[in-house]
Amino acid sequence: MRNAEAAVAGHAGKHNIFFALYPSREAADRIVRLTDSLFEAGILRGRRVTRDCLHVSLYGLGCYDAIPSRVIDDVRGIVSHLKMAPFMLGLNAITSFDHNDGWRPCVLTGDDGLYGFDELYDAMHLTLKKGHPRGRQVARIARPHLTLSWEDILLPDAFIEPVHWTVRDVRLIHSPFGESRHNVLGCWPLEG
């Protein structure tokens, strides 16, 4: 953990710190094949998310000019008290989000397959609030999703055969802006 922090400590850009859920190897393989087919068909043409960065954001802790070691240490201790059993997460639709910056993420999202996500988010929020009552208030993610690519057009919504996996852990991530990489700062198994 310390090595990942040391490796990025000299980076001058912004540092995004957040909790995320990563697909299983099998689910990631399926997502990559789906993304490949969308690019081959010319549906997607933008900037693709790398396989190692495929994730569902769970809870953002903010963007910083420097790596916030104290915040990271605080949440590591607090999240070690999180209690929740593993659960199945399912994504069954492709959609686009409209951002004001001109880039529109093409994402996988779901409906009934996100029930466990909502439970985990609530447990995470309560755990962080209880452990650090003066902690920052984080806006809830409007719609849980996994980004495939960043496009300059909006794509029509479409249903797909569900991609699902058992979520077995929560990871604390450091993502330096513009570098298309994630550094894992902590990992907590779901047990309950």
CATH number at residue 73: 3.90.1140.10
Residue 166 tokens, joined:
């058992």
Give all strands (DSSP E) within the chain, no chain letters.
Answer: 15-21, 47-48, 56-64, 87-96, 104-109, 146-151, 158-167, 169-176, 183-189
**What total number of domains does the chain contain?**
1
- Which pTM was predicted? 0.86
Instruction: Provide the residue range defining the domain that includes 40.
Output: 2-86+113-141+167-189
Residue 161 belongs to a domain: no
Let me know the angle formed at the C-alpha of 76 by 170 and 63, rounded to the nearest 5 degrees: 80
Residue 73 belongs to a domain: yes
Q: What is the pLDDT of residue 102?
A: 75
Residue 134 belongs to a domain: yes
The 10s digit of each residue's pLDDT in 78-103 is: 888 888 999 999 999 999 998 767 78
φ/ψ of residue 18, rounded to 5 = -160, 165
Residue 14 belongs to a domain: yes
Q: What is the pLDDT of residue 139?
A: 55
Residue 136 belongs to a domain: yes
Let me know the angle formed at the C-alpha of 3 by 58 and 76, rounded to the nearest 5 degrees: 40
